Amino acid sequence: MSDKAWGGRFDQELDALAARFSASVDFDQRLADQDVRGSIAHVRMLAARGVVSGADADAIVAGLSQLREEIAAGEMPWDPALEDVHMNIETRLTARIGEAGKRLHTGRSRNDQVATDMRLWTREAIDDTARRIDRLLGVLATRAAESHDHLLPGYTHLQRAQPVRLSHHLLAWAEMLERDRGRLLDARARLNECPLGSAALAGTTFPLDRDATAAALGFDRPTRNSLDAVGSRDFLLEAVGALSICAIHLSRVAEELVLWSSQEFAFVEMSDAFTTGSSIMPQKKNPDMAELVRGKTGRVVGHLVSLMMLMKALPLAYNRDMQEDKPPVFDAFDTVRDSLDVLAGCLDSARFDRARMAEALRRGFVEATEVADWLAERGVPFRDAHHVSGRLVRRCVEAGKTLPELTLDELREEHPSFDESIFAALDAETAIERRALVGGPAKAQVEAQVAALRARLAERA
């Protein structure tokens, strides 16, 4: 008899190439801890239901606990000939404790086992990612609290548009990340069901207590359909989908850091710890970390596409194709984790240049909307007011002036209602303070937003 678990049916050994092609233990050993915990919950339940004896269950639990320590210490000898993490663990358990080990797999299949392991792993990875998002949010809250008085142009089309506070800009990044966290947690809520008891595809004749294993593993409930439980991976599509959106947001933050640290903007100087020099140009200080966060986004979204193609048109229930779900999922989480931490480091240590921002604000006619609003508030139809303001900008461009540098006479040449009070309206701080609606850049608003963010973070800590 072959020593393989399914040996009874087979005369010949698996072809060596086929064995190498199909072995997954090189990557699925990352599921080892989840696999052992799943097995412990399963066998305890089997004993409670009288399917295996208490003595056998105790031996199995003790053996698995010992293996768990061995695995954590990096001392488990993973054998590709045993194919995957599940067979490696079961085989070693039986080698250790003897006959009892062979009873562990009663009422179970690797199909519901691997689905359970992946749900556990993904749930834990989501929790870890959510904590790291919160850490980055904490950095943003700190930097925002320090930068209410850093005024800079807000941009549309990458053209200077209207003045805002740096804190307002940083809080916009925080909003994006808050939603990313929410999306991950939404995916978590949906995936938190236990496949154990689905067995290969059609459930099992053994009187398993599915509620007990679900509860023991921290799942909210057992899955409702055995074919779906072993044959679906949309929980991974959702998780990596949420990660992809998060990565896209990180790439946008990274892109702004790249732009802002250019000499053209010079709004920020990144610390030496998160920049690199050039091997040939001594003056360079390159924002490589931000560029790599931007670049690695392609990798994460690529993993989402891999997973979607993997699942497309698969018939129910389990298919071996699904073994290929693991590398993209693991790498997507690893990449987003590091990107979050690297950006936290970049932002924590960056120095924002208030003077450069103020200078950018002076050039760019960001007061043009104030001019139009000032006229509109005095009864000029907004479209006409907009036109007058546009003509004034054109005058400035031609004369090489800024809007506040125009004289009252020059202003009056374009519209008779201008008076001295227009000059106060052109001040950036005034323009910002007049935007005091919820969500706007006025000081009271951004202060309240920082406080609210900090309160949310404190509640989640």
Q: What is the set of active-site residues?
A: 157, 278
Q: 158 vs 259, 262, 435, CA distance in Å?
A: 10, 14, 21
Q: Which is nearer to ligand ARG, 83 or 353 (CB)?
A: 83
Contact 226, 202 (CB under 8 A): yes
The answer to whether the Cα torsion of 206, 326, 69, 79 is positive or negative is positive
Q: Minimum Å distance from CB 322 to ligand ARG? A: 5
Nearer to ligand ARG, 153 or 328 (CB): 328
d(CA 330, CA 230): 20
Q: Which is nearer to ligand ARG, 172 or 201 (CB)?
A: 201
Q: Is the CB of 233 or the CB of 356 nearer to ligand ARG?
A: 233
**Min dist. Cβ of residue 24 to ligand ARG (A):** 5
Pick 152 or 322: Cβ nearer ligand ARG: 322
Kindly list the residues in this chain that would bind ligand ARG in the complex (CB under 6 A).
Answer: 24, 28, 84, 110-111, 114, 318, 320, 322-323
For the bound state, the minimum distance from the C-beta of residue 235 to ligand ARG, rounded and expressed in Å, comes to: 15
Q: How far is the CB of 324 from ligand ARG (least distance, A)?
A: 8
* Nearest in space to 45 (alpha carbons), one of 257, 183, 217: 217
The distance of closest approach from Cβ of residue 23 to ligand ARG in the complex, given in angstroms and rounded to an integer, is 9
**Minimum CB distance to ligand ARG smaller for 27 or for 265:** 27
Cα distances (Å, whole numbers) of residue 433 to 353, 427, 436: 21, 10, 6
Look at the block and give the residue holding tokens 């072809």.
15
Count the neighbouring beta carbons within 10 Å of the beta carbon of residue 17. Answer: 8
Those residues whose C-beta lies under 8 Å from the C-beta of residue 389, and which sit 6 or more positions away, are 368, 369, 371, 372, 375
- Rounded Cα gap, residues 38 and 50, in angstroms: 18
Least distance in angstroms from the C-beta of 88 to ligand ARG: 11
Name, in order, each residue with C-beta under 8 angstroms of 214's C-beta and a sequence gap of 6 or more.
193, 194, 196, 220, 221, 222
Q: Is beta strand 159-165 parallel, antiparallel or unpaired with respect to 193-194?
A: unpaired
